[in-house]
């Protein structure tokens, strides 16, 4: 279904708008049905020109590329890009690191890009992770999509693979991006909530845009409350093309897979982390690299020919769809390693400018209408944020694997000092012995795929984009029971914050097209009767479940990348502390000592043990597993300390392994800890504790919370 459809006639398109049906969202042809508006009610450009279609950008055919002449799209996105200065409008809260990419398998048959063909070549990279909705001063751990942007400094210029930790997106056409972000950001009249989607305007937009349903399933899953940036997947989201030496093209999807596995927090845990350490994910990434525990990802691709794309039951140009790995397995071709923290946060992390238009020869775009808008928007945004057309000269943005040279001159903050008379091309100055400057390279230069575009100009969406629920259904049904319960609970929490009943009802009506049980569980959690299902633009169908979409049961049981907290008191047995620390560190974990006072404790043998953290400032939400090594007198004191009781109670409630010596039993009892395989008695050996600490105790969940 990747080929262009025959466009509808103008009369048919006009007739399709005759009946108002805003709640139904995108219709069979992709258009939003609305009746004519009175002059004082109709939407216009900033210059008063009435807009006939605010849902679709102007394309050459329903599936063709977006056209530069679309002044409605350009004005809308350009205004959006310049709304706030200088903070990023989205992805403002971020953290980054330097690293290296090594190609392990060549794609020479598919692409002429050297970064994808020279096996063993190491390419310098800069990677920025981020949240989407919050401002630069928001916290690290809200429920939110995470940006995953990689700048490759290749031999043929910079390649910016600008993606997220989720493979799909909320919208199909870039013209809706300003509306999406306005809806999820702080409400315009009150300036809150910050970094949260649990409010009226976001869910109002979602209910009216059924194409967002698949993304909402991902957003409400545990993927959006990650344990660490080191443990998130990355996706290019959009469909791109690869071109070989003969300009033959294939479609490609890009994936990053963390070698530590995709891991998340619990929702209650994420909320408490926000209060305990607003910089939790930043600190985690920085500390890991600083200690030499370098994060690693496998780089993989899904490559499809035109014929394979045509055979899919969905449109490969639709950014709300993914290609299940069971249909087209991932092909691992390289490894990413982050090995150096930035020297200066502002100069590098804040000033880095990612552009989807940065592509070396051999990589090209597709006609994906979301990607087409991004090609304009990112460049325009950087002009606003960084204040000059010369932002490419900022060191973090400079091409490093090759020279950059052209005839573009002057401008604010020009740092280069060009020599000679030639500032235009073509020129013949070389014939007089002067430097004529660089020349175009018809053979090795960037060439675009020659896709046919001879179709009528339309503001319509292809019929192949009309199925909004089948993949959402596949995602939900592919989750484990635990993950389904978490997803339902997230929807209940979010919709409970929505004050407009009709908005909740509309979302429930859409959920019935995803899965009847899902909709019933959410309605029950809200205490609402289920409304009738909404009328889908295209009837959803059942796809095969995709176990690859799960988190639980997929990541490796390992202590690598994990942080163990050992709570100690005066009089504790130092041998037990040493056993836990030695065993945990040998298995790859980092260990921190927590004490009632930052000065540390005096152990039973009279020796001093230095503390890394003080109890009140180090709740158990900051650790992956905890051990309690107490003395009888120390435990007695902690029984009256709420922070100590909460330390144990939260560790148990967040499904973490708890190691303990006999003296700690009274504290366990007061915190309501029940015996289970994750509650381990510590002795001479810490083997049992280390095994339990390598994962969460999922079987405990029914003991600690009522699952939706």
Which residue, among 557, 551, 560, has the nearest Cα to 257 in the 3D structure?
551
How many angstroms separate the CA atoms of 208 and 417, rounded?
53
How many angstroms separate the CA atoms of 318 and 303, rounded?
16
pLDDT at 401: 79
Q: Is 449 exposed, middle or buried (0-12, 13-18, 19+ CB in 10 A)?
A: middle
Annotation says 486 is catalytic: no
Three-state SS for 252? Answer: strand
In DSSP notation, 30-64 reads SPBP-----TTTS-B-TTSPBPS-SSS--EESTTS
What are the tens digits of pLDDT across the range 540-570? Answer: 999 999 999 999 988 899 999 999 999 999 9
How many angstroms separate the CA atoms of 170 and 179, rounded?
11
Evaluate whether 655 touches 698 at the Cβ level (below 8 Å): yes
pLDDT-flagged residues of the chain (< 70): 1-39, 84-85, 708
Q: Which of 33, 56, 91, 654 is an active site residue?
A: 91
pLDDT at 84: 65
Domains and CATH numbers, the chain: 79-199+208-215+225-397 (2.40.180.10), 468-549 (1.20.1370.20), 563-704 (3.40.50.880)
Q: Which residue shows structure tokens 């048919």?
A: 12
How many angstroms separate the CA atoms of 241 and 355, rounded?
17
Give the distance, in angstroms, between the CA of residue 280 and the centroid of all CA atoms in the same chain.
17
pLDDT at 27: 39
Give the distance, in angstroms, between the CA of residue 547 and the centroid of all CA atoms in the same chain.
20
* Sheet containing strand 658-660, strands side by side: 613-614, 590-595, 563-568, 625-629, 658-660, 679-681
pLDDT at 15: 40
pLDDT at 410: 86
Q: Which of 56, 95, 158, 164 is an active site residue?
A: 164
Indicate the Cα dihedral angle 175, 180, 186, 187, nearest 10°. 90
**Could you give the residue ranges of the DSSP H alpha helices within 417-573?**
470-478, 481-496, 501-514, 516-526
Three-state SS for 300? Answer: strand
Helices H, strands E: what count in the chain?
A: 19, 20
How many angstroms separate the CA atoms of 300 and 105, rounded?
10
What is the C-alpha end-to-end distance of the chain, expressed in Å?
A: 38
Which tokens in the block code for residue 479?
């989750």
Evaluate whether 469 touches 213 at the Cβ level (below 8 Å): yes
Ramachandran class of 6: left when φ > 0, alpha when ψ lies in -120 to 50, beta otherwise: beta
Give the distance, in angstroms, between the CA of residue 127 and the centroid of all CA atoms in the same chain.
13
Q: Does an H or E element contain 12, and which?
A: helix 10-16
How many angstroms separate the CA atoms of 145 and 164, rounded?
7
Annotation says 182 is catalytic: no
How many angstroms separate the CA atoms of 362 and 134, rounded?
36
How many angstroms separate the CA atoms of 313 and 331, rounded?
22
pLDDT at 35: 58
How many angstroms separate the CA atoms of 532 and 431, rounded?
78
Integer-rounded Cα radius of gyration of the chain: 28
In Å, how far are 227, 688, 696 from 699, measured between CA atoms?
19, 17, 9
pLDDT at 37: 65
Evaluate whether 329 touches 305 at the Cβ level (below 8 Å): no
Which tokens in the block code for residue 675?
């015996």
- Measured over the CA atoms of residue 40, residue 45, residue 51 and residue 53, the dihedral's sign is negative
Cis peptide before 86 (omega within 30 of 0): yes
Bridge pairing between strands 590-595 and 563-568: parallel
For 350, residues 6+ apart whose C-beta sits below 8 A from its C-beta are none
pLDDT at 23: 34
Which residue, among 503, 500, 491, has the nearest Cα to 23 in the 3D structure?
503
């Amino acid at each position: 279904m990747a080929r262009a459809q025959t466009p509808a006639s103008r009369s048919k398109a006009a007739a399709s708008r005759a009946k108002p049906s805003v709640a139904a969202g995108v219709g069979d042809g992709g258009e939003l049905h609305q009746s004519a508006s009175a002059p004082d009610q109709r939407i216009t450009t900033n210059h008063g020109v009435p807009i006939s279609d605010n849902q679709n950008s102007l394309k050459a055919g329903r599936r063709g590329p977006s056209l530069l002449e679309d002044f409605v799209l350009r004005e809308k996105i350009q205004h959006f890009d310049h709304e706030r200065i200088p903070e990023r409008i989205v992805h403002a809260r971020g953290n980054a690191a330097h690293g290296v990419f090594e190609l392990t398998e060549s794609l020479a048959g598919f692409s002429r890009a050297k970064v994808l063909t020279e096996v063993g070549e190491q390419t310098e990279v800069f990677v920025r992770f981020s949240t989407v909705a919050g401002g630069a001063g928001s916290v690290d751990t809200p429920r939110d999509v995470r940006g995953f942007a990689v700048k490759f400094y290749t031999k043929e210029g910079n390649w910016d693979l600008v993606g997220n930790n989720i493979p799909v997106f909320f919208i199909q056409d870039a013209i809706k991006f300003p509306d999406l972000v306005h809806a999820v950001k702080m409400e315009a009249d009150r300036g809150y909530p910050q970094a949260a989607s649990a409010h009226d305007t976001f869910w109002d937009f979602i209910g009216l845009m059924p194409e967002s349903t698949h993304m909402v399933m991902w957003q409400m899953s545990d993927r959006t409350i990650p344990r660490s940036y080191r443990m998130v997947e990355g996706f290019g989201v959009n469909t791109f093309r690869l071109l070989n030496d003969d300009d033959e093209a294939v479609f490609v999807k890009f994936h990053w897979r963390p070698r530590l596995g995709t891991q998340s927090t619990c929702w209650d845990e994420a909320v408490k982390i926000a209060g305990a350490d607003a910089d939790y994910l930043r600190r985690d990434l920085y500390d890991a690299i600083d200690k030499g525990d370098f994060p690693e990802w496998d780089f993989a691709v899904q490559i499809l020919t035109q014929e394979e794309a045509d055979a899919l039951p969905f449109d490969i140009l639709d950014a709300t769809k993914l290609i299940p790995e069971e249909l087209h397995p991932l092909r691992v071709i390289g490894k990413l390693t982050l090995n150096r923290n930035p020297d200066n946060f502002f100069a590098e992390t804040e000033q880095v400018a990612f552009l989807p238009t940065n592509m070396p020869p051999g990589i090209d775009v597709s006609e994906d209408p979301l990607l087409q808008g991004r090609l304009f928007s990112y460049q325009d945004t950087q002009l606003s944020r960084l204040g000059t057309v010369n932002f490419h000269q900022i060191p973090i943005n400079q091409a490093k694997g090759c020279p950059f040279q052209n005839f573009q001159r002057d401008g604010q903050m020009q740092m280069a000092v060009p020599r000679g008379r030639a500032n235009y091309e073509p020129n013949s100055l070389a014939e007089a012995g002067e430097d004529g400057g660089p020349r175009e390279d018809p053979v090795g230069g960037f060439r675009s795929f020659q896709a046919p575009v001879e179709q009528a100009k339309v503001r319509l969406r292809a019929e192949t984009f009309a199925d909004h629920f089948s993949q959402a259904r596949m995602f939900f049904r592919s989750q484990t029971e635990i993950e389904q319960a978490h997803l339902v609970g997230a929807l209940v929490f979010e919709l409970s914050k929505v004050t407009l009943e009709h908005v909740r009802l509309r979302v429930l009506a859409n959920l019935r097209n995803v899965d009847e049980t899902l909709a019933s569980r959410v309605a029950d959690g809200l205490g609402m009767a289920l409304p009738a299902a909404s009328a889908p633009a295209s009837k959803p169908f059942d796809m095969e479940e995709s176990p690859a979409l799960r988190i639980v049961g997929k990541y490796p049981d390992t202590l690598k990348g994990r942080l163990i907290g050992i709570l100690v008191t005066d009089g504790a047995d130092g041998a037990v502390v040493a056993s836990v620390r030695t065993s945990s560190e040998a298995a790859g974990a980092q260990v921190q000592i927590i004490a009632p006072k930052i000065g540390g404790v005096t152990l039973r043998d009279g020796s001093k043990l230095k503390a890394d953290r003080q109890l009140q400032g180090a709740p158990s939400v900051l650790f992956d597993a905890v051990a309690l090594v107490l003395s009888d007198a120390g435990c007695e004191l902690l029984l009256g300390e709420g922070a100590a009781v909460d330390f144990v109670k939260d560790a148990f409630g967040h499904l973490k392994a708890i190691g303990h010596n006999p003296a700690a039993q009274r504290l366990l009892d007061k915190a309501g800890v029940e015996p289970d395989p994750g509650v381990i008695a510590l002795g001479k050996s810490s083997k049992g504790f280390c095994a339990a600490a390598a994962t969460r105790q999922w079987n405990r969940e029914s003991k600690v919370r009522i699952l939706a």
